[in-house]
Structure 1
Amino acid sequence: METTARDALVDRVVDGRYRVRHRLARGGMATVYEATDLRLDRTVALKVMHPGLAEDPGFVARFQREAKAAAQLSHPHVVAVFDQGRDGDLVYLVMELVAGRTVRDVLRAHGPLTAEQALTVLDPVLEALVAAHAAGFVHRDIKPENVLISDRGQVKVADFGLARAVSSVTSSSTQGVLMGTVAYLSPEQVERGIADPRSDVYGAGILLYEMVTGAVPHGGATPLAVAYQHVHADVPPPSVVRADLPRQVDELVTRATRRDPDERFPDAAAFLRQVRTVAASLPAATPLDVDDGQTTLVVDLSGPAAVGLGHATTRTATQTSPQPRRPQPQPGGPVPPVRQPAAPFRRRRWGGMVIGLVVIALLVATASYGGWWLAAGPGRSIDVPGLLDKPRDAAEAALTDLGLVMAVAGQEYSETIAKDHVVRTDPAGGSVVHPGDTVSVTLSAGQERYGVPDVTAKSVADATAALTAANLQAGQVTEKYDESVPAGLVIASDPGKGTALKPGTPVNLTVSKGPKPVPVPNVAGKDQASATALLQKAGLVVSEVREDYSATVAAGSVIGTDPAIGTTLNKNSGVALIVSKGPPPVPVPNVVDMPRERAVSLLEGKGFKVVEHEGLVTPLDRVWSQDPAGGTLVPPGSTITLTIV
């Protein structure tokens, strides 16, 4: 029960029938009171909607329709709806009063449950959903706050129909409701505003995840951020948070929370059957100790699960004390509470009474201090806020305002979260901590980027090593002629030096093949000077000049080159010029003592020119001498002088 300032509704009779006794709790859309039904003389829970909702005619009409429909749903694991109405500005709902606590209370006090304990709690929740779905109801808002565990250990699901009524309200008064509910919304509820039994399967899967990990799978600073993750991110296996969880629990959560409804369990009945199959393969659940600050309640979660869907699973609770024999449970219902054996009456002495009064006083003082310690002091529970993507200063301020201490655990790169904004917290958002506890935050180091190093004039091997050292990698290698960079060395990279890239990005390299080869130009027939100029223009060098005879090329002109004309050479290569010395020499025939006519005919026949010298008298008419002499090598067409006698 809340111990806050006196509520104006306390002691008021609502609608002439329900006397308000005291306030039990205040939530996002309503305040719950314990009240007495004066007509039937029974204790009930009176849920009064917040004024912001009560002022919305559309909400009131829909709330009344949904409440009337929910009142027709009767099941052992569903909180019964008795009545609904309006009294002036009060819109209210009358429900069965379940003395106990919510699963949220259990998680805050106890922390995450074992897989066996969580499945035993989930079993009756799914039973309730099976019955509701069969009656045409979709809950739409399965979460720890709507699952109650009575002091007798019976699990009940509350608020059927209310989520549908609230979903039609668009005023800002529902912001708190959405903030508390969005962590359990299915993707189709977020994207299209529709819900069917598979949406409840999704919510039950999130509930199972939170029961075994102590936190919801998706966190965020705003409802929109959380809703975005439901639509765009898969729910991770709970073993990511708790490695000791059985693989079967991972499979249950993963199947129930598929983003595509068609890939989930088709309904709560199929989910329940699989839960019972998994539970049967695990050890029996151990009793759950939940300390509420006054007494220790032992919630017995070890009862056997029923085989059929129509049988309730037994769950009991007893106070810790000498244990009498437990009554046997009746099928389909809760175990009756264990009655403690009455202590025999003993006459007490005054001294004992004084001691007793002192003990009572100490207990009262201790209880008062304990109440302060739990409600406002260092023992109170605090939910770690969602700090994802918040700047460091804002995150620290938010934690400081809650009495928590922020410690920076380190930094890590993030593609989506800005530098010095929060990437994650430990404990995660939604986890329960206490004043003075430390919340470790990991900050974003910004996007992981590396600059391209200067790899010009390096060999391919050295360039590859430099890129690897920079957390990049060599990409495609292209060869290209270059006039200045020696062959085999890098000319350039793409992207270029200094460009910021993601780790592992390939960087393409352009590697020199050296200067581009050139053909030896055609210099045949050119004089030596002209041929030399043409070779130099082509980037070649005249390395030597050789002479040779040519019958076709005039002396002094170029016959050819070595290497030959047209050969491809690297620039600055040497080329030899071959210059003509004219036609090759021929031997002069020996015509001495040969008749003149015959000698002249022979020489002219060989292409020589003949000059005759003769005296006044040439009685023999024969060659006396010749110049050049026979056998001498002379150029073709040379002149041969003959002396005739």
Structure 2
Amino acid sequence: MMSVEWQPTPRFRVVRLIDRRPGYDLFEGVDVEHDRIVWIKRFLPELNQSSAFYDRWYDRLWRLRELALPTLPTLLDFGATEDGTLYQVEYPPAGISLSQWMAEAHLGEPEMTVTVGTAIVEALAPVHAAGVAHGALTPATIYILEEPHNHLHVTFAAWELSDMLAVGYDVPDVHPYLAPERLENPSAPFTTAADVYSLGVILYEMLTQHSPFAPNDTSRLYPTPPSRYNPLLSETLETLILRCLSPNPYMRPPTARVLARTLPLALHDRVYEVAHSMGAEAQAAPVRASSSPETMFSMGVLSALLLVMLVAFVWQVSQGNNGASAPASPAVSTPAAETVEAPAIVTTPDLFGLSLDDATATLEAAGLQRGLVRYAYDAAVPAGLVIEQNPRADVQVLAGTAVDLIVSLGPPPE
């Protein structure tokens, strides 16, 4: 590509323009002192003139440099030139982007996806443990390098994207991976739970080669169960992926560390160990200054325990007072305990391809009820027929459970 007569400092010489990306131009350059190839990012004028972006971007790069973790980019220099142009210099990430790997690899095999996914979340875990979230994870911002003995080295790049989003700069490629709370309020603090949502979308795409949501679904409340596209998934793995995609951040695994522990277990349907790992993490989560999901969950548990202790103390005091003043009660006969029947368990029927009326009748015959009904375009299923249900077919649930439906609108308009 074209060469450019520009360089941020004498140490770093620009060689050529690699790409024009949202918010900045990416150059290949040379570190003259060490004779090494570097990436140089030159930010566009609209960001150079934003003090809000500069403050967030500069502070966060300092934090990343202080962490000096092997999964973070090696930041060599960042700041502003004499004319006010913001720049950022770093070594190129090793390996290839996850998006390139996904284009070249045979996706859909759960074991391979879990192996790569576990390597990614394990690499992000120490970053989350330090109280830092990426805020704009996509397959294009994750780089993987295959090392000896089947080890994968992972690097997380493009940390500036989340700072750009936070000040209202549009980065369209990131939108499909943003958690709902980030879409509603881009300037909200980055959280580890929002990163987990992004990882959930990425894992979903690796397992199914599809997006979790229909193209016209802007609510992001009802992801299509991944087993519709990939029947090889274990039920526990599917449930874990859908937990990552919950619109409620407190329903997701709170950090990458939890996801790293539970992914391999979920692959083999070890549901009780998955639940135990998530519960143990919630109890052991440290309290941080930021209002992360771990902090909120731990504080909620602590508050509940304190409330129970207070109620127990008041009850004991009242019982003690009653015992001191009231005469002993005469013995009374105690009726036999009533037998409480366990709630009935039923199996959800397969509603795919049924009309809405037939699906409703089938649910009622099975002891279930119809829940929310939404509509979406589907090129393969005629209009008026069910294309998805939640809970999915052949799952044991309590009688009376509501089953949500998605009904086809037919092929999308041209």
Q: Same fold (TM over 0.5)?
A: yes
- Is 1:191 aligned with 2:184? yes
Shift of 1:243: 1.9
Specify the alignment match of 1:124 in structure 2: 119
Shift of 1:110: 3.5
CA–CA distance in structure 2, aligned partners of residues 229 and 414 of structure 1? 22
Specify the alignment match of 2:276 in structure 1: none
CA contact (8 A) 1:78 1:128 kept: no
- Is 1:156 aligned with 2:160? no
Letter in 2 for 1:6: M
CA contact (8 A) 2:29 2:40 kept: yes
- Is 1:442 aligned with 2:411? yes
SS at match of 2:181: helix
- Is 1:8 aligned with 2:4? yes
| Structure 2 spans left out of the alignment, 5+ residues | 271-280, 282-374, 387-406
CA–CA distance in structure 2, aligned partners of residues 27 and 127 of structure 1? 28
Letter in 2 for 1:156: T
Shift of 1:84: 0.8
CA–CA distance in structure 1, aligned partners of residues 226 and 381 of structure 2? 24
How big is each residue's C-alpha offset from its partner over 1:297-354, in whole Å with a ceiling of 9 and x where there is no partner? Answer: xxxxxxxxxxxx9xxxxxxxxxxxxxxxxxxxxxxxxxxxxxxxxxxxxxxxxxxxxx
Structure 2 CA distance for partners of 1:123 and 1:149, relative to 1, 3 Å? same
Shift of 1:149: 1.6
Structure 2 CA distance for partners of 1:70 and 1:414, relative to 1, 3 Å? farther
CA contact (8 A) 1:237 1:250 kept: yes
Specify the alignment match of 2:207 in structure 1: 212
Whose RCO is larger (CA < 8 A, sep 6+)?
Answer: 2
Q: Describe how 1:486-525 pairs up with structure 2 within 5 A.
A: none
How big is each residue's C-alpha offset from its partner over 1:226-261, in whole Å with a ceiling of 9 and x where there is no partner? Answer: 6x322xx23232111222233332122012222212
CA-based RMSD of the aligned residues comes to 3.3
| Structure 1 spans left out of the alignment, 5+ residues | 283-308, 310-387, 391-406, 416-422, 426-440, 445-645
CA–CA distance in structure 2, aligned partners of residues 254 and 201 of structure 1? 11
CA–CA distance in structure 2, aligned partners of residues 250 and 412 of structure 1? 27
CA–CA distance in structure 1, aligned partners of residues 246 and 198 of structure 2? 11
Shift of 1:15: 1.7
Specify the alignment match of 1:229 in structure 2: 219
Structure 2 CA distance for partners of 1:62 and 1:147, relative to 1, 3 Å? same
Letter in 2 for 1:185: L
Structure 1 segments (4+ residues) deviating >6 Å: none
Letter in 1 for 2:182: Q
Structure 2 CA distance for partners of 1:51 and 1:117, relative to 1, 3 Å? farther
Specify the alignment match of 1:73 in structure 2: 67
CA contact (8 A) 2:201 2:211 kept: yes
CA–CA distance in structure 1, aligned partners of residues 384 and 142 of structure 2? 40
Specify the alignment match of 1:455 in structure 2: none
CA–CA distance in structure 2, aligned partners of residues 255 and 48 of structure 1? 38
Letter in 1 for 2:46: G
Shift of 1:209: 0.6
Structure 2 CA distance for partners of 1:74 and 1:122, relative to 1, 3 Å? farther
SS at match of 1:14: coil
Structure 1 length normalisation: TM-score?
Answer: 0.40
Structure 2 CA distance for partners of 1:113 and 1:72, relative to 1, 3 Å? farther
- Is 1:30 aligned with 2:24? yes
Identity %: 24
Shift of 1:151: 6.3
Specify the structure having the higher radius of gyration (Cα).
1
CA–CA distance in structure 2, aligned partners of residues 83 and 109 of structure 1? 33
Shift of 1:16: 1.7
SS at match of 2:76: strand
Number of residues of Structure 1 aligned to a counterpart in Structure 2: 283
Match of 1:168 among 144, 166, 174: 166
Specify the alignment match of 1:253 in structure 2: 241
CA contact (8 A) 1:73 1:80 kept: no
Shift of 1:389: 8.5
Structure 2 length normalisation: TM-score?
Answer: 0.60
Structure 2 CA distance for partners of 1:249 and 1:183, relative to 1, 3 Å? same
Between Structure 1 and Structure 2, the one with more strand by share is: 1
